[in-house]
């Protein structure tokens, strides 16, 4: 089958690449001829993903909020596949169980946990990738994951203010480094999903009131939560050689979230 986008032969690290959007993209990359290193906190998830991904994949278990994990992943890609061409940072998630929420309820621990999970991890992986790109020469590509909640809030059902702050910060950080490294042919872009069916979104996807709201807030394709493969085209395109003249951009994959008002229960 012909690849839709030109990723054949690329070496890609996918941080958070063993479940959800990360695993779906890793499968698409491998199917289209790329080699991948997938990273997860869970060794069990890594081993399971490697069975699905086959001989073009390597795996690493480690916490993305630990800077050493990204350094090890980048080194593994360079050693296994000869170089690093791209980084896709998907890892992150909700800090609700650790104290994130509306600002008046946000705990110090919830703030620190959410910042490490969603922002420190991005800084660490991007730093490791950029250092490798510069050392080997020839440029490279970074794709970071934000969220529509970084600029399009939903106060009733998605008031996680530390999460929103970190996802907004990912955009500012990505644009800043895109500007700084463009002359070295290092591209940095952002993908920003809305509500997708992933392990992180189990709370929201299992709530009937929220899903009635989502049916009007994400009206494309009948009004539904996204599924991981819905983001594959956007992610693989931005990682591919076909996007070689694109940097500093944010692409929402949101089913219409950012341009739809959304209706709560009982509203006309």
pLDDT at 113 over 90: yes
Whose tokens are 């950012």? That residue is 258
For the segment 27-66, what is each residue's pLDDT rounded down to a tens digit? 999 999 999 999 999 999 999 999 999 999 999 999 999 9
Tell me the C-alpha distance between 49 and 42, whole Å. Answer: 11
**Does residue 6 sit within a domain?**
no
- Is residue 2 domain-resident? no
Number of helices (H), then strands (E), belonging to the chain: the values are 9, 7
* Residue 183 belongs to some domain of the structure: yes
Residue 23 lies in a domain: yes
Task: For the sheet with 86-89, list strands across it.
Answer: 57-61, 35-40, 11-15, 86-89, 140-145, 186-193, 250-253
Q: What's the rounded Cα separation, in Å, for the pair 260 and 241?
A: 32
**Average pLDDT for the chain:** 95
* pLDDT tens digits, one per residue of 70-86: 999 999 999 999 999 99
pLDDT of residue 67: 98
Tell me whether residue 135 is exposed, middle or buried, using C-beta atoms within 10 angstroms of its C-beta: 0 to 12, 13 to 18, 19 or more.
Answer: exposed
Residue 47 counted as domain residue: yes
User: Does position 266 have pLDDT exceeding 60, yes or no?
Assistant: no
Q: Is 139 helix (H, G, I), strand (E, B) or coil?
A: coil
Q: Is residue 3 in a domain?
A: no
N- to C-terminal Cα separation, the chain = 47
Kindly state whether residue 267 falls inside one of the protein's structural domains: no
Q: How far is CA 247 from CA 140, 251, 254, in A?
A: 11, 11, 20
Question: Is 102 domain-assigned?
Answer: yes
Mean pLDDT for 168-178 is 98
Q: Judging by DSSP bridges, how do beta strands 35-40 and 86-89 pair with one another? A: unpaired
Which domain CATH number covers 69? 3.40.50.720
What pLDDT, on the 0 to 100 scale, is given for residue 268? 41
Nearest to 7 by CA among 25, 27, 28, 33: 33
User: How many domains is the chain partitioned into structurally?
Assistant: 1
Nearest to 158 by CA among 112, 211, 111: 211
d(CA 236, CA 2): 14
All residues at 6 or more sequence positions from 238 whose CB lies less than 8 Å from its CB, including other chains: 141, 143, 189, 191, 246, 249, 251
Looking at residues 228-243, what average pLDDT do you find?
97
| Segment 181-215, tens digit of pLDDT | 999 999 999 999 999 998 778 888 888 999 999 99
Tokens of 8: 């054949």
Q: What is the pLDDT of residue 219?
A: 96
Q: What is the pLDDT of residue 3?
A: 57
Task: Give me the domain span that covers residue 235.
Answer: 11-255
Using an 8 Å Cβ cutoff, are 215 and 223 in contact? Answer: yes
State the pLDDT at residue 264: 87
Q: Residue 1 has what pLDDT?
A: 40
């Amino acid at each position: 089958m012909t690849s839709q986008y030109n990723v054949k032969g690329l070496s890609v690290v996918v941080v958070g690449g063993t479940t959800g959007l990360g695993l779906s993209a890793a499968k698409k990359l491998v199917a289209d001829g790329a080699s991948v290193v997938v990273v997860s906190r869970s060794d069990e998830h890594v081993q399971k993903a490697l069975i699905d991904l086959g001989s073009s994949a390597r795996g690493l278990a480690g916490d993305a909020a630990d800077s050493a994990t990204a350094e090890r992943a980048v080194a593994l890609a360079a050693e296994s596949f000869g170089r690093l061409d791209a980084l896709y940072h998907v890892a992150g998630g909700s800090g609700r169980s650790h104290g994130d929420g509306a600002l008046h309820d946000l705990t110090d621990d919830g703030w620190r946990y959410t910042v490490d999970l969603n922002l420190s991890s991005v800084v660490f992986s991007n730093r490791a990738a950029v250092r490798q790109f510069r050392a080997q020469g020839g440029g490279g590509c970074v794709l970071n994951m934000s969220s529509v909640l970084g600029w399009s809030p939903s106060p009733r059902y998605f008031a996680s203010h530390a999460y929103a702050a970190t996802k907004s910060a990912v955009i500012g950080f990505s644009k800043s480094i895109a500007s700084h490294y463009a002359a070295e042919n290092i591209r940095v872009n952002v993908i920003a999903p809305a509500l997708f069916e992933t392990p992180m979104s189990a709370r929201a996807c299992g709530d009937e009131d929220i899903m009635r709201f989502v049916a009007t807030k994400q009206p494309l394709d009948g009004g539904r939560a996204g599924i991981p493969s819905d983001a594959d085209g956007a992610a693989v395109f931005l990682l591919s050689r076909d996007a070689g003249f694109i940097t500093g951009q944010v692409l929402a994959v949101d089913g219409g979230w950012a341009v739809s008002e959304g209706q709560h229960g009982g509203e006309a």
